[in-house]
Structure 1
Amino acid sequence: MNSELSFADLGLAEPLLRAVREAGYTHPTPIQAQAIPHVLHGTDLLAAAQTGTGKTAGFTLPILDHLLRHPQKGRASGRPRVLVLTPTRELAAQVEESVRLYAHHTRIQSLVIFGGVNINPQITALKKPVDILVATPGRLLDHVSQKTLDLSGVEILVLDEADRMLDMGFIHDVRRILRLLPRTRQSLLFSATFSDEIRALAQGMLDQPQEVSVARRNAASGLVRQKVVMARQGDKRDLLSHIIRESGWHQVLVFTRTKHGANRLAEKLVKDGLSAAAIHGNKSQSARTRALSGFKDGTVAVLVATDIAARGLDIEQLPQVVNFELPNVPEDYVHRIGRTGRAGSPGSALSLVDDSEVKLLRAIERLTRQNLEPITIAGWVPPVPSAEASDSEVATAAARPRGHRENPAGRTQRARRGRTPSTAGRRA
């Protein structure tokens, strides 16, 4: 890509260029430079891009450009022209926030709908014209069944983070939604990886698509310093609290395997005088929004999250990610550490690894084709093991079967391929 390429060179409408300038962006990222011309041209697109590469603007800007250049008079209520499907509530909210940012100097109307909140305000909002609808699959189908949403006017479909959509068991919902859309439309599919399942989905969804890719499959960002500390499971909470306090970290995202583990870790950190909060699927949407807002504005220093809850979090210049436990699926490690080292800024990822997790560590190293640097923590003296520590849920989490119901992020690839949409997934 030409490093001197500007957004104006891409041919975007002036109101969008103005919004981009006000947002502080001057040059498109590689995925934006590759994707925007194809989307502007009206072709279908299959794009491989990790979170943090600027992919949201890569489809949002050209879609807004299309709507500006092809205005529609007398629009019916609840009949969107553009549909963006995302796997999680957080990602849906983030995408719609980006749409509003770039559409600031236009009259284009957007709306986000997802589960976990009262459906009635969404029904009210759908009684007005909407140009761009961002939604999670389950709640979208709820509206379709209640006849509060008409998908017959969709001109452009975006399937964002399609790999995670499949991982979470949304494939049947996605196919139901595809059958509800007009056959003549532009379709865009974004995925972190091009697995066989993604290729199969693309074949049934896209028409002679262009294909772009900005990173090799499962590549970890070269800007992220990746380190490992060997630690007993029962010592990890005390160790992490020590590291955060001694290092003076003011913004760190910590990944746990389980919802219960996230709660216990956050409670421990708060007890030690740190500002911490947990987000996971059992938290209400308002609690998750509060925790994320506090993390972004600095009132919450430590955000403890499960993999699914953290998907789609977009925090600029996040300096530190910690794997409190390694994920059972190596690809999830790449997604986790992709939260830092973004937009050209350096980042750091620290993994706390128990002896029982060494096999998982080796699988991650094989996938990323690099050895993670082992380090020791100065001044750290492990406490004498207690009955509580040895019997903690953190220790037992590592030994649980991978299909355990409280461990949605740690399923095997075989379990992922064969599962059907869960009740929890339908509510997302």
Structure 2
Amino acid sequence: MENFLKLGLRESTARAFASFGFHHPTGIQALAIPKLLKNVDRNFVVAASTGSGKTLTYMAASIERMRDREEASEAAGRVTLPGRPHTLVLVPTRELGEQVLGVAKAFSLDAKFRAASLLGNVPVSRMNTAMEQPFDILVATPGTLVDWLECRYPKVFLSYVKDVVLDEADALLAGKGFPIVMKPILDKLNRRDRDGSERKRRFIYVGATAPTKMLEKLSKDHRKDLEIVKSRDLHKIHSSGVFAEFVLIKQHESRFTELRKALEQGRRMIIFCKQASTVQFLAHVIADMGFGCSMLYGSQPRPNRAKNWREYSEAFVNTIVCTDIASRGLDDITTETVFMYDPPKTGVDYLHRTGRLRAKGKVIVLVNKYELNATRAMFISHVRNETMEDLDRYEYVRLLNHVRTAPRKRGIFRNAIEPAQEDLQHRITSSDRKRRVEG
């Protein structure tokens, strides 16, 4: 706990880190927490790889800011009103929201703050009850928050908000459907007071990736009043405990052969698919093979999603088949294999999927001939511990010249780059990230 006190945190706040398995600050925590505490009027981008404790970082800083305001206030006690949060945390999925809410409540135990949530597909009666109570921190998905801002009663008001956190900011600002839903929220947050003065709010953009286009837009939006805090390993995959295997599939039946091989190993496995229909189909295939599994995809009813994830996280089944909804924020530190039945569309998707692994494990990616060009770059960046964006073009072309035809056995990429064969085992997470609380 002493290491966290040195960052400028109060004892009650520092104590919460130990409850999540963090006894020493991670790189991003050591970098970001002092800056967030000192520069309360600046906007921040906090970017670090999965498993680095970013949720704890921004939650601790926000609670410390609320404590400072409370101590500086001349009023007797804190001003906490129904429907008027001081910190707003926006998340893309309800599963991530539930995890963030859990972190907020853990911090609130000692700090005596209250946290509430507005997440999709939660019974309206339950959210009504929560909004009628005083609370300081609100965790919300954008669509549900907009509904409450405009239609529901009791309403939520954002006039008291001082810290606005966008967890998985790249998804919220540029992901499918999110920009339209986010607009009315951002409009309300950026609205001027009646006298024409700007409301002083701090925006904190958090993520495991920080695309260049997003950073350029944020810098413009905030008139360059934006500080970027990022870890050295951002956009990299770096661990000697994880083996990556890209398998070229020539016939559709080969996918099931590779899948059966992975299932027969009995390791805890997350299987990623592009579409919900593929998830459902593959779950039936796995059942026909004689193995148990759960399913997770966006259009599932909330009770089913919660139940299915619990089945996997509590080890009632060893396998879960899911869409990319499970690639951001959902945590299970016992996962041993990430099996990509459908390859990721981008390097960012690859980073998020692979980030479900911790210190040791295996990544298996099934690739057909039409997907070779896209996945080769991912593989080479993975092997060479380079960022997905900064792979040297000429070295990339030189390495690809080693790839002629598919090997007879386990796929084109396993033996494609012979000079780099000894580098095929590599790290994804460092030893101090044994447990993760993410958003």
- TM-score of the superposition, structure 1-length normalised? 0.80
Give deviations 1:224-267, integer Å, cap 9, x for gaps.
3211222333331343123221x221x21110111111111112
SS at match of 1:7: helix
After the TM superposition, which residues 332-347 of structure 1 pair with which residues of structure 2 at under 5 Å, given as runs?
A: 332-341=349-358, 345-347=359-361
Please, which of 25, 33, 38 is the counterpart of residue 36 of structure 1? 33
Q: State the partner residue of 2:244.
A: 226
SS at match of 1:200: helix
Distance (whole Å) between structure 2 residues aligned to residue 357 and residue 348 of structure 1: 21
Equivalent position of 2:388 in the other structure: none
Alignment of 1:354-365 (within 5 A): 354-365=368-379
Match of 2:325 in 1: 308
How many Å apart are 1:96 and its aligned residue? 1.2
1:134 corresponds to: 139
The number of aligned residues is 370
**1:170 and 2:178 equivalent?**
yes
2:286–2:293 Cα contact (<8 Å) kept: yes
CA contact (8 A) 2:96 2:330 kept: yes
Q: Which amino acid aligns with 2:273?
A: T
Q: Which residue of 1 aligns with 2:168?
A: 161
Match of 1:420 in 2: none
| CA distance in structure 2 between the partners assigned to 1:316 and 1:202 by the alignment | 35
In the alignment, what sits opposite 1:283? 300
Distance (whole Å) between structure 1 residues aligned to residue 160 and residue 135 of structure 2: 11
CA contact (8 A) 1:44 1:207 kept: no
Q: Tell me the secondary structure at the aligned position of residue 254 of structure 1.
A: strand
What whole-Å deviation, never above 9, does each CA across 1:262-315 have from its counterpart, x for those lacking one?
111112222323220111112111111111111111112111111134322122
> Within the alignment, does 1:248 sit opposite 2:266 as a pair?
yes
**Structure 2 residue corresponding to 1:236, chosen from 255, 278, 283:** 255
Conserved? CA contact 2:245–2:364, under 8 Å = yes
Structure 2: which amino acid aligns with 1:62? A
Corresponding residue for residue 6 of structure 1: 3
Counterpart Cα distance in 1 of 2:175 and 2:230: 21
Q: Secondary structure at the match of 1:222?
A: strand
Q: Assess, with a 3 A threshold, how the Cα gap between structure 1 residues 40 and 211 changes in structure 2: closer, same or farther.
A: same
Gaps of 5+ in 2: 71-76, 191-198, 385-398, 412-439
Q: Distance in 1 between matches of 2:306 and 2:111?
A: 27
Alignment of 1:349-428 (within 5 A): 349-365=363-379, 368=382, 370=384, 376=409
Stretch deviating more after TM superposition (146-155 or 223-232): 223-232
Instruction: Give, in angstroms, the shift of residue 135 of structure 1.
Output: 0.8
Distance in 2 between residues matched to 1:207 and 1:350, nearest whole Å: 41
- The residue number in structure 1 matching 2:93 is 88
How far is the alpha carbon of 1:319 from its aligned partner? 2.1
The separation in 2 between residues aligned to 1:330 and 1:361, in whole angstroms, is 9
Q: Is the 8 A contact 1:45 1:209 kept in 2?
A: yes
Identify which of 180, 183, 187 aligns with 2:188: 180
Task: State the superposition RMSD in angstroms.
Answer: 2.6
Deviations 1:332-381 (A, max 9, x none): 1121111113xxx2232111222332223224236657489989469xxx
- The TM-score normalised by the length of structure 2 is 0.78
CA distance in 2 between counterparts of 1:272 and 1:139 reads 40
**Residues 112 and 134, structure 1, Cα contact 8 Å, conserved in 2:** yes
Taking the TM superposition and a 5 Å limit, the aligned residue runs for 1:96-115 are 96-115=101-120
Distance in structure 2 (CA, Å) of the matches to 1:296 and 1:363: 32
Query: Which stretch shows the higher mean deviation, 230-239 or 117-126?
Result: 230-239
- Looking at structure 1, the residues matched to 326 and 16 of structure 2 have their Cα atoms a distance apart, in angstroms, of 30
Q: What code does the residue aligned with 2:166 have?
A: L
Residue in 1 that maps onto 2:14: 17
Seen in structure 2, the aligned counterparts of structure 1 residues 205 and 82 have a Cα distance that, compared at 3 Å, is: farther
- Give, in whole Å, the separation in 2 of the partners of 1:142 and 1:331: 30
- 2:61 is paired with a residue whose SS is helix
Q: Cα gap change, 1:106/1:47 in structure 2, threshold over 3 Å: closer, same or farther?
A: closer
Structure 1's 79 and 206: CA in aligned 2 closer, same or farther, altered over 3 A? Answer: farther
Q: Distance in 2 between matches of 1:209 and 1:26?
A: 30
Most deviating of 59-68 and 278-287: 59-68
Q: What is the percent sequence identity of the aligned residues?
A: 29
Q: Partner amino acid for 1:347?
A: G
Specify whether residues 104 and 73 from structure 1 end up closer, same or farther in structure 2 by C-alpha distance, changes over 3 A only: closer
Aligned mates of 1:375, 1:294 — CA distance in 2: 38
